[in-house]
Structure 1
Amino acid sequence: MNKYLRTLVIAPMTTSSKNYPTRIEVKHDNKIGWIVLDQIRTIDKGRFVKPLGRLSKPEIKELKAIIK
């Protein structure tokens, strides 16, 4: 979907969070952070600066299970 539209569907990240069931803990830049799946939103591609990295296969599997 993100490939064909002028918008992107994103899940924000945070460095401080409680252990909610809709948040996935990830390591980024040698810090622990969380992907906040309870705040998925759509943004214009013009607001997107750069990707922060890529998720591992286990992280992707966990993300899909939570969204499902």
Structure 2
Amino acid sequence: MDKDFDKWNTEKKTVDAKVVNRELFFYAREIWWCSAGLNIGVEVNGKHENFERPMLIVKKFNADMVWALPLTTQGQNNKYYYKLDHEDMKSWVILSQIKTISTKRFLRKVGSISLSDFKEVILRLQKFLKIENPLAGGFLGGRSH
């Protein structure tokens, strides 16, 4: 399937021109439909007219920026996915695709995940982020940058 990058570029200009709504309240644990766009290679794409995808807010930095994880209905049973049973929708959080996104991408709120699911997502992310000492064991490919 060919990607219509020209169409996404037009939509991206609209998203970028949005003014962040300072009265829009959002929090970690919430799922929002976001303009995820068309991306490169294995990066998760948005779908439909707005190139949208549901995303879980992992961390709110300020009114303009969050860390978010994309959701999919095409999950896999491995360490890179965490299965949610959110209301009537079965979906998986794609742990390996954490992104820093602008809140200009927010379209509409879906709801919130349970505190227990959120804790598990955070624990799994922490495991991914544990990076061994970069100077030990050839982490830098044998070079001493």
Give the alignment's TM-score, normalised by structure 1.
0.81
1:1-68 mapped onto 2 (5 Å cutoff)? 2-4=60-62, 6-68=64-126
- How far the C-alpha of 1:3 sits from its partner, in A, is 4.7
SS of match in other structure, 1:52:
strand
Question: Percent of aligned pairs with the same residue?
Answer: 25
SS of match in other structure, 2:108:
coil
- Structure 1: gaps (5+ residues): none
Amino acid across the alignment from 1:48: F
- Structure 2: gaps (5+ residues): 1-58, 127-145
Which structure ranks higher in relative contact order (CA pairs < 8 Å, sequence separation ≥ 6)?
1
Amino acid across the alignment from 2:101: I
CA contact (8 A) 2:75 2:92 kept: yes
- How far the C-alpha of 1:31 sits from its partner, in A, is 2.4
Bigger Rg over Cα: 2
Paired residues, what number? 68
SS of match in other structure, 2:109:
coil
